[in-house]
Amino acid sequence: MIELRDLAFSYPDSDFGLSITGLEIAAGTTTAFIGPSGSGKTTLLNLIAGILEPDTGSVRTNGTLVTELSDRARRAFRVTEIGLVFQEFELLEYLTVLDNILLPYRINPVLKLQPEIVERAKTLAARVGITDKLRRRPRQLSQGERQRVAVCRAVITDPPLLLTDEPTGNLDPLNRETVLDILFDYVRDAGTTLVSVTHDHGILERFEAVVDFRSFHEIGPDSGSELDPAR
């Protein structure tokens, strides 16, 4: 599902560097990315999604060698195969909740908005308990409800891979558990591969594997990945 080989990445105007000899994440599994702030967790999500390009090395995601695609092909790949939940949700205030969920279909010509997609959006909304909020704007929702909208938007295309960046970072404990239940129920039913950045060690037992980014910053020839089984 995800296969990284001899990956090196640095930002042009920063001394941050990420170097990963090898990392594999199997299809249909759930993996947590943990590590200190600034250790490159968000950067790696962006490399896996093809939003960033590595300096050297290869990224294979869902069987596609992302690092060999043209810009246009990479965008089409991302839109159809990857669901993204950002830490700040990034909902659009001028759109209703329903239109936020449908956003991928409104902004990407490769996706066609058919009536059954609107039905799917409503089904997803019902599943996460926001049916009565579909005509509202994001600011008229609670944090937990906004996060549910972001999850619905990320999975509206039924992507084989879901990448979430600290999906519970802004939530109180009750909403945190609700959103995690929603995420894990969804990926189990749909067979989606889930990779989630988290700094919340209290939720690690939900994941099948944990990748600790401290292992990418060791010195020496073996500075590769460790895919530690979750406790």
Interaction site with ligand ADP (CB under 6 A): 11, 13-14, 16, 35, 37-43
Query: Phi and psi dihedrals of 179, rounded to 5?
Result: -65, -40
Q: Supply the DSSP symbol for 95.
A: S
From the list Mg ion, ligand ADP, none, pick the one residue 39 interacts with, judged by a Cβ distance below 5 to 8 Å according to partner type. Answer: ligand ADP
From the list ligand ADP, Mg ion, none, pick the one residue 31 interacts with, judged by a Cβ distance below 5 to 8 Å according to partner type. Answer: none
Could you report how far apart the first and last alpha carbons of the chain are, in Å? 23
Dihedral angle of Cα 6, 11, 16, 19, to the nearest 10 degrees = 0
Q: What angle do CA 148, 149, 152 make, to 5 degrees?
A: 90
Nearest residue (CB) to ligand ADP, 40 versus 144:
40
Nearest residue (CB) to ligand ADP, 7 versus 130:
7
Nearest residue (CB) to Mg ion, 44 versus 187:
44
Cα dist. 213→110, 111, 223 in Å?
Answer: 35, 35, 11
Nearest residue (CB) to ligand ADP, 99 versus 228:
228
Q: Supply the DSSP symbol for 230.
A: P
Choices 38-46, 118-126, 129-137, 186-194; region in contact with Mg ion by CB under 5 A: 38-46
Min dist. Cβ of residue 41 to Mg ion (A): 5
From the list Mg ion, ligand ADP, none, pick the one residue 113 interacts with, judged by a Cβ distance below 5 to 8 Å according to partner type. Answer: none
Residues contributing to the site for Mg ion (CB under 5 A):
42
